[in-house]
Amino acid sequence: MTDFHYRDQVLHVESASLTDIAARFGTPCYVYSRAAMERRWRAFDRAFENRAHLVCYAVKANSTLGVLQVLARLGSGFDIVSVGELERVLAAGGDPARTVFSGVGKREDEMRRALEVRIRCFNVESEAELRRLDGIAGSMGRIAEVSLRVNPDVDPGTHPYISTGLRDNKFGIAHEDAVRLYRFGNGLANIKMTGIACHVGSQIVALAPFQDTAARMAALAQELERAGLPVQHVDLGGGLGVRHEEQEQPPEPAALVNVLCAAFAGMDVELRIEPGRAIIANAGVLLTRVEYLKQNGPKRFAVVDAAMNDLLRPALYHSWHDIIPVRAGDGLAEFRYDIVGPVCESADFLGHDRALAIEAGDLVAVCSAGAYGAVMASNYNSRPRAPEILVDGPQVHEIRRRETIADLLRPEKPVP
Ligand code: LLP
């Protein structure tokens, strides 16, 4: 995390001190580095060099308008999974013609809106979905471009909740049905089958699953071509992991892109990818303040003001996030703490058994929290959601304000 560094023993994001940010916006809060997200997006984009390609940022990873704006201004494409995400992309100035629509359960109104604003392509996951899309496109006098999402049956070697490319998963259609369905789609009056797509899982930290996936997709593209069914683009999904633990060494974006390009060498297809986490995870931290230190028997706890409602990943996936002090080396004794929040659940922890030299009132940063952090936050325990701050060099922008209790109560209605 090169954009997060200590200066005068205080953790900074680019040129902004996290102590100052906490004083100005309160805690807990999410803090993002614009430079970090731009650098990662460009690393993907540049690695394709002269090959026709589209980097579609997976909006689900972090859909805050300010984040989407930054990426839209780089010329990013977007991968969306709902009409809500589509409206966010549009509101952020994203280009619908660079937007692909993934997901197993697209509703009619979602398809209609996506056709209306002329998105680039639907990644379709079933025969039933093809029929529905054909009907809606026909009623609107439109032709829908479709990528068929196939399930390459590759084990990404990641947490079962975030692996999607195995055979018995709900995602995609079976490899052996692909040719038949592609032909079927081409026979529909208002559908144009233009490509194939896949996504095998998330937080993948090795190249091998991507290599296998790309090889299978390249073989399928050739099979379709041989059957007289042209393929203009192949979407290889997202899934590249980030370093969540010291010893993990996930591949760099360029290494992934090189593997993909190699698998399609000599084939005239546009390559698409849908990275989310790899762009935004390490561009963000969750900043939180220690409320209390306490000891139960031999166990020490640091009770902080962020909780599982702010960052669900440790509770849901047992994921690791480095937790580091904002003020480094001020001579306190180091102990091992469980870092826990105030929510009434034993699963409410941000990290177990972390060595930290801290006292009550100190700030700590929960790292790699830019992806699947703010977007998965809830109001559990009637906790207003945290603000999001975007740092851009010395400038600090609040891109989402803290929710208030009044915000929480607003949609509710009294019993008559
Ligand atoms: N494309 C499709 C079709 C996807 O389903 C996903 C993620 C992505 C792209 C982006 O994957 P990424 O590059 O971010 O790995 N909440 C979980 C992650 C769920 C990912 C679901 N699909 C977590 O916090 O780890």
DSSP states of 109-167: HHHHHHHHTT-SEEEE--HHHHHHHHHHHHHHT--EEEEEEEE------S-GGGB--ST
Catalytic residue among 29, 121, 261, 344: 344
At 223, the amino acid letter reads E
| Nearest alpha carbon to residue 180 among 224, 149, 137, 214 | 224
Beta carbons of 261 and 48 less than 8 angstroms apart: yes
Q: Based on the residue annotation, tell me whether 29 is a catalytic residue of this protein.
A: no
Q: How confident is the model at residue 319, as a pLDDT?
A: 93
How many angstroms separate the CA atoms of 351 and 171, rounded?
31
Our mutation pick for probing the ligand 1 site, out of 196, 257, 274, counting the most ligand atoms within 8 A of Cβ, is 274
Our mutation pick for probing the ligand 1 site, out of 54, 55, 60, 102, counting the most ligand atoms within 8 A of Cβ, is 60
Residue nearest to atom 6 of ligand 1 (CA): 238
Residue nearest to atom 8 of ligand 1 (CA): 238
Half-sphere exposure of 353 (CA within 13 A, CB side): 2
149 Cα nearest atom in ligand 1: 3
Longest dimension (CA), the chain: 73
Could you tell me the domains of the chain?
4-32+281-409 (2.40.37.10), 103-273 (3.20.20.10)
Can you list the positions of beta strands (E) in 2-152?
A: 4-7, 10-13, 16-17, 29-33, 53-58, 77-80, 99-101, 121-124, 144-151
At 138, the amino acid letter reads G
Spacing, Cα 206 to ligand 1 middle (Å): 16
The answer, yes or no, to whether any atom of ligand 1 lies below 6 A from the CB of 62, is: no
Global pTM value? 0.97
Pairing of strands 16-17, 10-13: antiparallel
Residue 411 burial (CB < 10 Å; 0-12/13-18/19+)?
exposed
Q: How confident is the model at residue 167, as a pLDDT?
A: 65
Half-sphere exposure of 167 (CA within 13 A, CB side): 3
The answer, yes or no, to whether any atom of ligand 1 lies below 6 A from the CB of 372, is: yes
Q: Which residues of the chain have pLDDT under 70?
A: 1, 159-168
Q: What angle do CA 360, 397, 287 make, to 5 degrees?
A: 20
Spacing, Cα 350 to ligand 1 middle (Å): 21
How many angstroms separate the CA atoms of 239 and 262, rounded?
18
Q: How confident is the model at residue 169, as a pLDDT?
A: 72
Q: How confident is the model at residue 247, as a pLDDT?
A: 78
Q: How confident is the model at residue 155, as a pLDDT?
A: 79
